[in-house]
Structure 1
Amino acid sequence: MALVGAGVIGTHHGQVISQLADRLELAAVADLDLGRAQRLADEHGGRPFASLTDALADVDVDIVVVCTPTGRHGEVAIEALAAGKHVIVEKPAEITVGRTDEMIEAQQKAGTLVTVISQHRFDRATEVTLAAIDRGELGRLTSGIASIDWWRGQSYYDSGDWRGTWELDGGGALMNQGVHTVDLLVAAMGRPVEVFAYTGTLAHERIEVEDVAVGVVRFDSGALGVLHATTAAYPGLSARLQVHGDRGSAVIDNDELAFFHATPAGSEPEDKLMGTTQATSGGSAATASSNPGQLSDAHRLQYLNFLGALDGTQQLRVDLETNRQSIAVITGVYESARTGRPVSLR
């Protein structure tokens, strides 16, 4: 494997690769900062290079992992695909739908596999919720809420020239911190068709992008969704997904299944004057609790799914097309906030 981008996220991928040393070997680490590449290589293996081009000219690899700033994902991934490599790319795949489409076209020409890191799809809480939806246990889905109430101090944005820029970050709280929860909302609710939104930069200086975004999404089923993402919520709360249907609801909070209720088959939903705080009831109650060990293992599970897809034993669960829908929602939010009008995603 070759890993491109030896920053914080690249280092995390290095750790995952080391955990899978029986199946993977890191042969090259590429970063514009050769010292940083050397440090990651010293810890997790491989040789340091200044670019993917240099690495591919000197080392034979099958898989390239892309952990550069978001606005550089496409060019690195396309170079790897043109060389016939399989690709693992950090979220989001790119900063626009158009650039994502270029990656899809390059993949189709190469005939290789690409997965986009969406590790929260592999959390136990997510798997339980999506399985219940697939079985119809929540009934007709009516609404969903994706909320990311985080705090990032000014030092976070000042830590790199690319942070908080449209060119390389592609957006702010929604594109970077909120993309995983948007991905889960789309996974649960289905195809998004329209979005309307507002954004603002209210608690940070010297950034081009938003630190607050709110929006509403309409899905092709008729269901509605609410988006809220911020890095201006001191001291920082959790990421939260709520999915509601006419027979049940699920709430995932901080990667754990905080609430689950599904009306058992053959029963009718009861009228309630107040909400319930019951953690699990009916439906998949027996399997609804989250295993903290599994939750912390989500990156490794996605890597294993990718390897399973390569050897034909599993179906790839997250591809470029999957991530494209989330990018369409997020860029639609930005367009709507800029124009003051709803944006069609069809």
Structure 2
Amino acid sequence: MGSGKIKFAIIGAGVIAPLHARAIQLHPEAELVAIVDSVMEKAQKLADEYSVPFIYEHIDQLLQQCDVDAVCICLPSGLHSEVTIAAAEAGKHVLCEKPLDITLANMDGMIAACRNNNVKLATVFQKRTTELAIQTRQAVKEGKLGKLVLGDAYLKYYRSPEYYKSADWRGTWEVDGGGALMNQGVHGVDIIRWIMGDVDSVFAYAAPIVRDIEVEDTAVAVVRYKNGAFGVIQGATSVNPGQEPRFEIHGEHGSIIYADSGIKLWKTLDGEEPPAASSEHKAEGSDNPQAISEDGHYILIDDLIHAIREDREPLISGEEARKSVELILAIYESARTGKEIKL
């Protein structure tokens, strides 16, 4: 690929698409050339807002008629694999919104299609780009907490009944793939697993306690990590008001607790002061799904561009993104069967 701009298309003009549009427009090496949505009015509205030249009703039209290098997939979770595979087979790189998809078979198909067609598959987990996550993971990797004993994620969001009624796919097994964990909590599930390492087994409860939906609005899981540590993952969209996501990492020699708003506790074996924040932290999306900054999306757009140019793996590859969904599916299986599930 030459030194020209990487041409992007956005597939799906819903709530998350403007974050991708802004990030692409801000990037000096990126150009947003097309929007695809089955509802043409939505595609047109987003295209007008960001001065995008082409709109299409279907991905096939985009792939046949438009010269693009990469696509951003902003569709409901259960539709990710079909579109990713079509894009990969047409030789397009893919940046897919979280979760990668909602079944292991679908995710494996996406990963294989991108590998076989020599295109990059990157995933949006923007919480991994935050200072707090990176600093915490680094401290853990460097052994600053000693042997890990506990790794907990508290992911207590609020989503109103109106939110679930706003689109017929929300809160369904078939297209949303789950509830509080698969849609909102997947970010935090990804973070705790990224910091603590892979999970060995889970035991969980999950149910719709207050919302009239088929998937869970409240879930709690006990996890055993492969390194021997234990942990708790709580996910909800039923908590009012929503709380900022919070991560608590404890080792025999120290502890780190942080939330979106900053570090709450930083005690390490070497007695170092907590790292200074270079930017102001704020809770994102705990009550309002649109209250998210595009900073993380910009970093991931930038990373994909460099992955393409340098022919390297993206920061968050398909294989890496698969792990959080595998864990959530195990939590659902445990809640359904009442058994501990080995991963």
Taking structure 2 as the reference length, the TM-score comes to 0.91
- Counterpart of 2:30 in 1: which secondary structure? coil
| Partner AA of 1:135 in structure 2 | E
Which residue is 2:259 aligned to? 253
| Partner AA of 1:339 in structure 2 | T
Judged with a 3 Å threshold, the aligned counterparts in structure 2 of structure 1 residues 224 and 290 are, in CA distance, closer, same or farther, namely farther
| Partner AA of 1:340 in structure 2 | G
Counterpart check, 1:145 vs 2:152: yes
Contact 2:120–2:313 under 8 Å retained in 1: no
Q: What is the CA–CA distance in structure 2 between the aligned matches of 1:214 and 1:242, rounded to whole Å?
A: 15
Contact 2:261–2:281 under 8 Å retained in 1: no
Percent of paired sites with the same residue: 39
How many equivalent pairs are there?
325
Q: What is the CA–CA distance in structure 2 between the aligned matches of 1:186 and 1:343, rounded to whole Å?
A: 16
Which residue is 1:228 aligned to? 234
Q: What is the CA–CA distance in structure 2 between the aligned matches of 1:116 and 1:288, rounded to whole Å?
A: 28
Which residue is 1:333 aligned to? 331
Q: How does 1:59-138 map to 2 (within 5 A)?
A: 59-138=66-145
- Counterpart of 2:31 in 1: which secondary structure? coil
Q: Which residue of the other structure, out of 289, 304, 309, is the alignment partner of 2:277?
A: 289
> Root-mean-square deviation (CA), in Å?
1.7
Counterpart check, 1:262 vs 2:268: yes
Q: How does 1:41-52 map to 2 (within 5 A)?
A: 41-44=47-50, 45-52=52-59
| Cα drift, residue 177 of structure 1 | 0.8
Unaligned runs of 5+ in 2: 1-7, 285-292
User: Deviation string for 1:9-48 (max 9, x for gaps)?
Assistant: 112211111111x211111100010010011111222311
Q: What is the CA–CA distance in structure 1 between the aligned matches of 2:216 and 2:86, rounded to whole Å?
A: 31
User: Deviation string for 1:210-265 (max 9, x for gaps)?
Assistant: 0000001111111112110011111111111111111221112125323211111x
Counterpart check, 1:304 vs 2:295: no
User: Deviation string for 1:307-342 (max 9, x for gaps)?
Assistant: 222222976221111111101110001111111101
Which residue is 1:39 aligned to? 45
Judged with a 3 Å threshold, the aligned counterparts in structure 2 of structure 1 residues 312 and 17 are, in CA distance, closer, same or farther, namely same
Q: How does 1:141-220 map to 2 (within 5 A)?
A: 141-205=148-212, 207-220=213-226
- Counterpart of 2:176 in 1: which secondary structure? coil
Unaligned runs of 5+ in 1: 265-281
Counterpart check, 1:237 vs 2:225: no
Q: What is the CA–CA distance in structure 2 between the aligned matches of 1:142 and 1:190, rounded to whole Å?
A: 12
